[in-house]
Amino acid sequence: MSDEQIVRDGFWAKARQTLGRIPFSADAVAAFYCATDNATPLAVRATLFGALAYFVLPFDVVPDFLVGIGYTDDAAVLLAAFTACKTYITDDHRAKARDWLFKAQASPLA
């Protein structure tokens, strides 16, 4: 299965599961919108899908269930991808992320 398919299949469930528990939620959602935007260059999409797949998959260097340190490796991978791709994550991607986060916080189980 490709990174893109892994992310498309599991991103929203993981985003809801981690809502309010990780400081990079807005960046991750904005990165998802950027990665799924056909106007985003292919190399940037591949970088973001790879980082988001690492976030979504349950297998990683530091297990996510470890309180306090579980998401540090995910944050490092995502930070590197965000930094490399930040010029392609637009205000529109960030606005969509804010809208999703607002709705998800208002209705966490929806």
How many domains are contained in the chain? Answer: 1
CB 26 within 8 A of CB 16: no
| pLDDT reported for residue 41 | 97
| Nearest alpha-carbon partner for 78 in 37, 35, 42 | 35
Render each residue's pLDDT in the chain as its tens digit; 110 residues. Answer: 688 888 888 899 888 888 877 788 899 999 999 999 999 999 999 999 999 998 888 766 555 555 455 667 778 888 999 999 999 999 999 999 999 999 988 875 55
CB 18 within 8 A of CB 71: yes
Torsion 53-59-62-66 (CA) sign: positive
| pLDDT reported for residue 75 | 81
Q: Using CA atoms, how far apart are residues 19 and 10, in angstroms rounded to an integer?
A: 14
- Enclosing domain of residue 72: 3-106
